[in-house]
């Protein structure tokens, strides 16, 4: 009886695994396809893009990216902007989140509603006024202009507020009994606890900032200030989708590599963050 139960449990487990592997493979197919195309010659892709194996194989598309003398500079710009935005966002969001969760100050509710309202404003609606403001400061083509508009991220403040609200008050009260100041409580107790949430927010912000195309396009308008997204796009000839498909795919793979690496390093924190938020 027990053996039979064990067997059916294991069958169910294998079945679930098989389904999940199948689904994962299905989701991976487009990614594999893009990588395959990035290793195929442009003229072969002009005839057909079918096939998941990179035959005939070529490194020319990637070579063409590295051959461009501006690529390191564009990578540098993207890295500075993405890392800078992430660091600043984490600082601002965690401080604001703690304030909204634990401190009492006038107009707290109104301010929180205003922050939430920011979640509903699409980025595109802000581009023109933002551009005018930065023009009046004469600060286009700087890393500052690329970072600053992204730092006050409503979703970041919201995430951290909700996280801090869920932390039991007893932890802070215990620290307060030991004469710990507000800031010490924040720094020594709350921040370490919030690492999973911070990592989640950090990855989200980094990804968003790294992938950003439109704002760098209109603010960083000089070639040496292009981010990697705008820079690699600017290399495309007019008929890239017919005659340069391999190159486009290679730029997509190349530009996404840092994100994949970041995700692979931090993924266990992400999982922990999700697990924490579901209370398991």
Partner 1 sequence: MLKKSILSLLLSGALVAPGAAIAQTKTEISFLRFFGGCADEYANVTDLDKAVGECGVIQVLTNKFNAENKDGIKVNTQNVDWNAYYDLLSTKLASNEAPDVAVMHRSTLPNFVARDLIEPIGEDLSKAGVDLNDFAKTAREAVTYENKTWGLPFDIHALLWHVNVDIMKEAGLVDASGAPIIPKNAQEVFEQAKIVKEKTGKRYMSMDARNDAMPVRVFNMLMWQQGADVFSAETGKPTINTPEGKKALDFIQKVYKDGLAVPTHGNGESSQSFLRGEAAVAVNGTWAVNNFSNQAASGKAGFKTYAVADFPPIFGKATWSDSHMWVMPKKNRTPEQKAAAITFLKYLNDNGISWAKTGHLPVRTSVLQSDVFAKLPFRSSYAQTAQMARAVPMVQNQRPAQDAMRDSFGAALLTDKSTGDALAEAQSKVERLFRRVR
Alpha helical stretches, state H, 39-153:
42-47, 60-67, 71-102, 108-118, 123-136, 143-151
Task: Confirm or reject binding of residue 218 to partner 1 (CB under 8 A).
Answer: yes
Please report whether residue 63 would count as binding partner 1 according to CB under 8 A: no
> Interacting stretch for partner 1, rule CB under 8 A, among 25-33, 43-51, 108-116, 160-168?
43-51
Smallest gap from residue 70 Cβ to partner 1 (A): 8
Task: Between 132 and 184, name the residue whose CB sits nearer to partner 1.
Answer: 132
Single out the residue of 18, 108, 237, 261 in contact with partner 1 (rule: CB under 8 A).
237
Q: Judged by CB under 8 A, which of 236, 260, 267, 268 binds partner 1?
A: 236
- For residue 228, CA distances in Å to 72, 136, 260 come to 9, 26, 15
Q: Is 195 in the site for partner 1 (CB under 8 A)?
A: no
74 contacts 227 by C-beta, under 8 angstroms: yes
How many residues would you count in the chain?
A: 280
**110 is a site residue for partner 1 (CB under 8 A):** no
Minimum gap (Å) between residue 29 Cβ and partner 1: 19
CA 13 vs. chain centroid, Å, equals 33
Cα(87)–Cα(167) distance, integer angstroms: 23
Return the ∠ at Cα 64 (arms to 58 and 67), rounded to 5°.
130
- Rg, Å, the chain Cα set: 24
Which stretch, 16-24, 44-52, 201-209, 262-270, contacts partner 1 (CB under 8 A)? 44-52
Sign of CA dihedral 231, 233, 236, 238: negative
Q: Which of 14, 57, 239, 263 binds partner 1 (CB under 8 A)?
A: 239
- 57 belongs to the binding site for partner 1 (CB under 8 A): no
Cα angle, residue 256 at apex, residues 79 and 39 outer, rounded to 5°: 130
By CB under 8 A, is residue 48 in contact with partner 1? yes
Total binding residues toward partner 1, as defined by CB under 8 A: 36
For partner 1, the closer CB: 159 or 225: 225
* Alpha carbons 184 and 176: distance in angstroms, whole number: 9
Positions that interact with partner 1 (CB under 8 A): 43-44, 46-49, 64, 67-69, 131-132, 134-135, 140, 213-214, 217-219, 221-223, 230, 233-243, 245
């Amino acid at each position: 009886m027990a053996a039979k139960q064990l067997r059916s449990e294991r069958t169910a487990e294998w079945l679930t695994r098989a389904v999940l592997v199948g689904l994962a493979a299905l989701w991976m197919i487009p990614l594999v396809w893009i990588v395959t195309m990035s290793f195929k010659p442009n003229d072969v892709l002009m005839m057909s893009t079918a096939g998941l194996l990179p035959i005939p194989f070529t490194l020319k598309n990637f070579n063409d990216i590295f051959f461009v003398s501006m690529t390191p500079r564009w990578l540098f710009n993207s890295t500075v902007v993405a890392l800078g935005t992430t660091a600043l966002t984490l600082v601002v969001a965690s401080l604001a989140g703690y304030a909204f969760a634990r401190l009492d100050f006038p107009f707290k509710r109104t301010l929180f509603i205003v922050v939430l309202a920011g979640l509903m404003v699409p980025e595109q609606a802000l581009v023109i006024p933002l551009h005018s403001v930065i023009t009046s400061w004469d600060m286009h083509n700087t890393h500052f202009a690329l970072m600053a508009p992204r730092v006050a991220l409503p979703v970041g403040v919201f995430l951290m507020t909700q996280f801090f609200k869920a932390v039991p008050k007893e932890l802070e009260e215990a620290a307060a009994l030991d004469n710990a100041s507000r800031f010490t409580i924040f720094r020594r107790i709350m921040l370490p606890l919030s690492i999973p949430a911070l990592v989640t927010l950090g990855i989200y912000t980094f990804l968003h900032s790294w992938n950003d195309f439109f704002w760098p396009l209109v603010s960083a308008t000089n070639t040496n200030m292009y981010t990697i997204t705008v820079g690699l796009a600017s290399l495309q000839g007019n008929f890239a989708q017919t005659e340069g498909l391999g190159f486009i795919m290679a730029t997509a793979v190349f530009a996404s590599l840092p994100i994949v690496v970041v995700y692979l390093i931090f993924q266990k924190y992400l999982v922990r963050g999700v697990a924490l938020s579901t209370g398991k």
